[in-house]
Structure 1
Amino acid sequence: MSRVRFGRVFRMIVVRVVAGVALLAWVWLALFHGGFWRTDQRLGPRRTPARWPSVGIVVPARDEADVLPRTLPSLLGQVYPGPARVVLVDDGSSDDTAALAERLAHHYGGLPLTVTSPGPVPLGWTGKLHAVAHGVAAAGPVDYFLLTDADIAHGPGSLVVLVEAAGDRDIVSQMAVLRTRTGWERLVVPAFVYFFAMLYPFRRVNRPGARTAAAAGGCCLVRRKALERAGGIAAIRGAVIDDVALGTAIKRSGGRIWLGLVDHVRSTRAYPTLHSLWQMVSRSAYTQLRHSPLLLAGTVLGLALVFLAPPALTVAGAFLRDGLTCAAAAVAWLLMALTFVPILRYYRQPVTAALLLPATATLYLLMTVDSAVQHWRGRGAAWKGRSYPN
């Protein structure tokens, strides 16, 4: 066999092996990875408690005057049969967040509101978690804390639903519906939820014996005793991805946690441009990889193999008239698209957009690499004027 022919055969074997591995990867992901692609983790039957527990709603807010008029009234207006109060922690805002919150409470009434400020952030704390810890202390010895972000709007009855669903769970967290108004939001946001579920399959999170743990910080009802048992907010004080850290801490301390999707809790935060979405993802992507170059390399290779190889090899196989490669890669691409369809339907997007998932995955790959580059330059995770390089 000539050297040229040997080279062609070797390349064909390599291409077919890559296509086969990609196909096997998608068969495994679709069938054996916790059903990550399903959207059926919703709060089911609920039970009215014999005694309505007390709830402190803690809202950390930093420069949130633009969203508070759309979100704070939805908390103040919650009709709850037990004792409940809202604590808004003004985390060093440069706008009139605190004064606006007071005005909104005066105008709308409803649940009592306390506006407080935590002061300077101590060494070793992230600003948000310092604000949350201050709010938890200000809420007093309540039975539950509802930790919710300032950009989250709650539908009527949201608090009652959470408490009724709590039962013996120590965390009940719901992933708020993110905004999908612009073209970039429609392309990137559903994939954000899809990739989050791939990292933390909701069914495994909700299984008491499984090691997988996570939470959704935008809407998270936490039992006070469970939080104390896990060491309080101080136990995760330096965490940038604070919701996952909280869910992990509670589960490791013996708590039972639940994470799912919801329709009546929505984020009002706008990410209208690719730049704003890029910053949203890249500010914590390398932190998710524990600042490990080895994990970064594995992630890049994994994304390339699982998401980029199938469409590339489908086209290459068709062009080279290699039916085996084309068929294996096309089936892998089809499985990828089918697993994305439920999230697209959840976000009311056309199912044909599932075929664009490889392009979106390419963006996420680049965002992850950029997150690592920013970390190596000493910039690290950043949010509203604060940076956490380490």
Structure 2
Amino acid sequence: MKNYAIVGFGCAGFHAARAIRQLDPSGRIAVFSDTGQPPFNPMLTTYYASEKLELDGVFPFGGMEEIQRKLSLELYSDMRVRRVDTAHRSIELEGGQMRGFDAILIATGASALVPGPLRRGGGDFFLMRTLNDAQRLRRRLEQGGVKRAVVVGGSMVGIKVAELLYRRGVEVTLADGAPYLFPLAAYESTAHAIQQRLEERGLDLIFRAQVSAVTPKGVTLADGRTLEADLVCLCIGTRANVELVANTQVLEGENVQIERGIVVDEGMRTNVPGIYAAGDCCEGVNLQTGKTAVIGLWANAGAQGDCAGRNMAGQFCRYYGNILHNITHFFDMDFIGLGDPNLPGERCSFREKGFTVEAILEDGKLNSINLFGNYRISGILKNHLTKRLLGGEARLTPAQQGLLAAGGLSRAFIRRIGGE
């Protein structure tokens, strides 16, 4: 009987466990989770904090007891993992106990990024990554007395936090060191259009403003300015949780390769036999660059976990990778970014009442696209861009062209981005 270990139990860990169980009904699957909570979607934390979702709504796969029973898992939530001994394919628990396995999956996800200097200002701050973060913010808002708030970080999460505070009547300032909103997903022109709409709503936006400290009175900027606030929320970004394998250099044998995340191949295998990684803790293939990168998407984590589980159980599986893909709804607006907005090329745009589409083409082929106000056509465009990067047909099919036209795009623009 084969023994499997899954360290971390989010989206990637769940899909890996399910794939293993489908292929190996009798194998032992040990799941190590330091929370004991069922897998939850981090992008739903703002919905819970704003009371749009009840607690059960953030657990898309159901309760832990139900998952444990259906997949016949051995769950260890009271035994913290100290490190993964990759040389001996074993796990060291906090008490010093060592347990060996045939295959180990690292699925520890990512944590909210908090730069060191911001921890030393003496002020309290909130994060928005885990369920505990959402519960803490929700409790604070229920206490009342929050009149002014600063959200640090013009990210997809940051704008959602700003929205939930705004809708509670809080005066909100969003500050970011970047030159404009969503810098990893949006073109500057699209970002400025969104910013104008937000400012019309009364949101205060400050860019090129590096926050140097969180103080008991608010935040201090690098240029000496202060922003007073009753509440500060940091939404700067995330970092991959790689600590469990980052210390393997002291052991004999080959080290697990780590860059911004744990580096894996298309089978979700690390460079050490028997050690796998999936989800936000690892770097998978970015289809546009051919290099590995952390692509923090819920669907990406699920596909990586499924692929890892199948390979762990002995069935060959290859996950081809993904592209940068961001979609968010905020202040009654929709924004979708497909592909890397920083790649070069010729820009073309289409504007219709209620929405804007901008695209970058290289040698007549779609490289990236921004949609502001029309999420319905995003699936067609992502499918087209992904297929092209995988070596498929570079032209939009007649059916796709018809759907894009029905979605409001002109025939001339459709031809420009890949139609006949």
TM superposition score category, shorter chain reference? under 0.3
What TM-score do you get using the length of structure 1 for normalisation? 0.27
What TM-score do you get using the length of structure 2 for normalisation? 0.26
Greater helix proportion:
1
Greater strand proportion:
2
